[in-house]
Amino acid sequence: MASSSDYDVVIVGAGPAGLMLALWLARLKIRTKIVDKRSVKVLAGQADGVQCRTLEVAHSFGFVQRLIEEGAHINEICNWTPAADGGLERTKRMPDNEPGTSRFPHVVLTQGRIERFLLDAMRDFNGLGVDRAVAPTNMTVDPALLTDFSPSSYPVTLKLRHLSEDEATPTQVGIANGLHRSNVLSDDEADAMHGTREGGAYALAGEEETVRAKFVVGADGARSWVRKQLGLSLEGESANSLWGVLDAVVVTDFPDIRLKSSVQSHGAGSILVVPRENDLVRFYVQMGSTDPNGERFDRSSISPESIVETAQRIFQPFKLDIKHIDWWTLYEVGQRMSPQVTLDNRVFLAGDAFHTHSPKAGQGMNTSMMDSFSLGWKIAHVVQGKASPAILETYGLERLKVARELLDFDYKLSRMFAGKPITSDGKPVSHEEFKKFYESIGKWASGTAVAYLPNMLVAPEREPRLAPGLPHGQRFESHAVVALADARPWHLADRFLSDGRWRLVLFAGDVREPQQRDKLEQAAAYLDSSAGPLRTFTPADDDLDSVIEVLTVISDPRTSVEPNAFPDVLWPPKKPYGSRSYDKLYADDSSPVTPNDRGEIYKHLGIDAKTGCVVLVRPDQVVALVCSLDDIGDIGSFLSQFMVPQQQ
Ligand code: FAD
């Protein structure tokens, strides 16, 4: 029997990785407990870059608008290099992302605000909050229960201790108590106050509680306690350079202070400038490198003043007057990762707990959240009995590959940004090479190029490719379409909400052609049949679109086909009144409100406008399988490898 201290999932750590996982689980109503040893969330500083891909995911959870409105937008990058006259010259301007990379921009906003949005969304979905000032002291896994996925089986037991105020109050370099509040907005005030609240908050200090869980996830940062319990450590290059990071309000005559800019000086090192919200600017300043004998840096000599002085030397002849320092830190990390992310698919690691690297490319927070975005729905599918536990294997396969690529990318980037830039094989870098490298990293840095290899949840690519713009294992590339019923323009991926459902997109082609029309009707008949995947994997009492939602996109003009002409299963009646699902039918056409703006989704994705294709999309928006309408039976065969039939 489940008791009040039994959970489906216990998450240790409420940073970006832990909160993204908690959000998924809150959205899918999975019994979850999330604890953090700190009494208060991050309020200032730390990570700040939010990639386009992270905004796509934020959209799917409903909070993207907050990011767009509060964040600074990174649209252009500039490179400054030493000029012949001894000054600096702008040698390159380029778009931050190639046009068309994503329907969302790259924004910059303090980690504390991202955590705020995640916390608010969790609370809105099912009231889930973080148990703060709580840390685990012991974890055991019962080997006899590892393969027991019955509802009453809880193989992992955690002992948790409630911490005192001293233990739970974070200390950060340069910020007393981590409660620096100049950039704190009103909805963060309660968090800011929490850490200093007298009495009450630590009433349970010193007490222990025991909880049981089906799954435990260590999202507890680079010094992960959970990782240590698994006997794993981070392997790879240890730190080779020390960076000063400073968020400040400045007065300057440097013209690109509101653009992301890299500045290489004549001999004083290099700096990365990142415009931030609320008139802040972030500076990443290299403060030192390991000497050839591997001596450690003398961190004690570095202060905000010395970071400012170095920045001012790099910026000469431009003036840099620092008026207000919001946050600063020293950041010293190499490229390191754990070789494994799980113990028996019952305990997992996510985020910095299994990969750390330098902060310059703004990848840490994004990759950490994307780890959890990959994990959350898989755990939920298993807990809900929708899928076999075997799907959990794919988490490590997919995310370890991303972590390896991230470390490789960061290794090259770090050397490019070193005081005297060098390539990864140690040769000096010319300015031309520096520019070229910067141009080449854009797509990867946007998060949209992540590609998973074939696994249980990603079918091997088929030839000929029926949708070359939708490679298996990559996120669905969105383009605009128009709804048949109400002429509303949509980005197709706006319909892929993170609600745990699979999407089956029928690119039905030209359905005015009788032959194509027949194919669509046959495909619909299969989907409506008892042998089809909709009825097989959907519980009898649930809506037919509650596990797999079918969306149809025709290549014909919007007004050339009436919705009534489509088979019922493509726009099924909804409970309780039997009203039709008008939001399932689309055309590759412009809308009356955007007459000159046709999305041309068929053309962009390389899909034949006559014959179309079928695309199966996972709950995390990753393309699982593309096949022809004739082969739609392959969708059922693919899903039956891991989905659990709900009906006989
Ligand atoms: P974290 O954000 O580290 O979150 C881990 C959480 O787990 C924390 O809330 C912690 O309190 C909690 N925790 C840890 N141990 C336990 C335990 N035993 N029990 C309970 N809770 C526990 N990235 C950039 O891109 N740019 C930057 O300038 C930058 N600066 C940084 C400065 C600092 C001081 C730090 C610490 C990180 C910085 N980062 C920066 C990295 C970025 O913050 C991380 O990549 C990102 O936050 C990773 O998210 P995460 O959730 O995996 O880990």
Q: Is the CB of 225 under 6 A from ligand 1?
A: yes
Above 80 in pLDDT, residue 237?
no
Q: Provide φ and ψ at 380, rounded to 5°.
A: -60, -45
* Residue 187 DSSP symbol: G
Atom of ligand 1 nearest to the CA of 222: 3
The residue whose CB lies within 8 Å of the most ligand 1 atoms, and thus the one to mutate among 138, 175, 352, 406, is: 352
373 residue type, one letter: F
**Residue tagged 């916390």 (tokens):** 119
Residues with a catalytic annotation lie at 48, 276, 284, 359
pLDDT value of residue 196? 42
Q: How far is the CA of 203 from the centre of ligand 1 (A)?
A: 26
Cα separation values, 294 from 297, 435, 557, Å: 9, 30, 67
- Residue of minimum CA distance from atom 4 in ligand 1: 15
Omega into 359 within 30° of 0, i.e. cis?
no
pLDDT band at residue 424 under the 50/70/90 scheme: low
pLDDT at 187: 75
Q: Is 344 a residue whose pLDDT tops 50? A: yes
Return d(Cα 100, Cα 118) in angstroms, integer.
Answer: 27
Where is pLDDT greater, at 77 or 173? Answer: 77
Distance between CA atoms of residues 392 and 397, nearest Å: 9
The model's pTM is 0.94
What is the per-residue pLDDT for 333?
66
Cα 457 from Cα 377, distance rounded (Å): 12
Structure tokens at 91: 């040698």
pLDDT of residue 648: 58
- Of 228-232, 316-320, 561-565, where does mean pLDDT reach its minimum? 561-565
- CB 219 less than 6 A from any atom of ligand 1: yes
Angle between helices 111-126 and 16-27 (to 10 degrees): 20
ipTM given for this complex: 0.97
Residue 184 Cα to ligand 1 middle (Å):
19
Partner residues linked to 455 by β-bridges: 458
226 CA: nearest ligand 1 atom: 18
Please determine, for residue 103, whether its predicted confidence score (pLDDT) is greater than 70: yes
Instruction: Give the H/E segment covering residue 396.
Output: helix 393-416
Average pLDDT over residues 534-563: 95
The closest-lying atom of ligand 1 relative to the alpha carbon of residue 41 is: 9
- Cα–Cα nearest to 467, from 439, 505, 438, 436: 505
pLDDT at residue 386 is higher than 90: yes
**Which pLDDT score is estimated for 181?**
44
Ligand 1 mean position, distance from CA 636 (Å): 41
Q: What is the pLDDT of residues 570-610, one digit of tens each?
A: 999 888 898 999 999 999 999 999 888 889 999 999 999 99
Pairwise CA distance, residues 109 & 118, whole Å = 14
Contact residues for 82 (Cβ-Cβ < 8 A; gap 6+): 88, 89, 264, 265, 266
Give the three-state DSSP class for 347.
strand
Residue 383 amino acid letter: V
Check: CB of residue 346 under 8 Å from CB of residue 146. yes
Residue 199, pLDDT above cutoff 80: no
Q: Which amino acid is at 17?
A: A
Distance CA 313, CA 270 (A): 10
Ligand 1 centroid, distance to 15 Cα (angstroms): 6
pLDDT category of residue 282 using cuts at 50, 70 and 90 = very high
Looking at residue 353, the DSSP 8-state letter turns out to be: G
Which helix (H) or strand (E) is 604 found in, with range?
A: helix 601-605
Q: Residue 439 is encoded by which pair of tokens?
A: 């141009």
- Closest ligand 1 atom, CA of 49? 25
Q: Tell me the domains of the chain and their CATH numbers.
A: 6-73+100-237+335-445 (3.50.50.60), 241-331 (3.30.9.10), 480-639 (3.40.30.20)
Q: Which of the listed residues 161, 287, 331, 409 should we mutate to test ligand 1's pocket, taking the one with most ligand atoms within 8 A of CB?
A: 331
216 vs 294, residue with greater confidence: 216
Task: With CA atoms as reference, report the closest residue to 313 among 272, 273, 267, 274.
Answer: 267
Average pLDDT over residues 458-465: 97
- The rounded distance, in Å, linking the Cα atoms of 624 and 470 is 10
> Residue 383: which of 6, 16, 35 has the closest Cα?
6
Lowest model confidence (mean pLDDT) among 312-326, 330-344, 460-474, 534-548: 330-344
d(CA 13, CA 224): 9
Give me the half-sphere count of Cα atoms (radius 13 Å) on the Cβ side of residue 316: 13
pLDDT at residue 289, as a whole number? 64
Token couple for 481: 């379409």
In the predicted structure, residue 418 carries a pLDDT above the cut 90: no
Q: Which residue has the CA at smallest separation from atom 16 of ligand 1? A: 220
How far does residue 231's CA lie from ligand 1's centre (Å)?
21
Cβ 14 under 6 angstroms from ligand 1: yes
Atom 40 of ligand 1, residue of closest alpha carbon: 47
Alpha carbon distance 582, 499 (integer Å)? 19
> What count of residues does the chain have?
648
Q: Which 3 state secondary structure label does DSSP give 625? A: strand
Q: What is the average pLDDT across 81-101?
A: 91
Mean pLDDT over 553-570 rounds to 94
- 364 phi-psi bin (left φ>0, alpha ψ -120 to 50, beta other): alpha
CA 523 to CA 567: how far, in whole Å? 10
Atom of ligand 1 nearest to the CA of 356: 45
Q: Name the residue among 215, 475, 471, 456 with its Cα closest to residue 370.
A: 475
| Angle, helices 52-61/364-383, rounded to nearest 10 degrees | 40
Mean pLDDT score across all residues of the chain: 90
The residue whose CA is least distant from atom 47 of ligand 1 is: 365
pLDDT above 70: percentage of residues in the chain: 88
Which whole number is the average pLDDT over 271-285? 93
Name the residue with the closest Cα to ligand 1, atom 21.
36
Report, in angstroms and rounded to the nearest whole number, the Rg of the chain calculated over CA atoms: 26
How far, in Å, CA of 467 to CA of 457, rounded? 18
Q: Once rounded to an integer, what is the mean pLDDT over residues 25-37?
A: 97
The mean-pLDDT minimum among 43-52, 371-380, 388-397, 489-498 falls in: 43-52
Q: Which of 289-303, 457-471, 587-601 has the lowest mean pLDDT?
A: 289-303
Count Cα neighbours of 256 within 13 Å in the Cβ-side half-sphere.
25
pLDDT in tens, 151-178: 999 999 999 999 988 888 765 444 433 3
pLDDT score of 197 more than 60: no
DSSP calls for 62-105: T-HHHHHHHSEEE-EEEEEEE-TTSSEEEEEEEESS-TTS-SS-
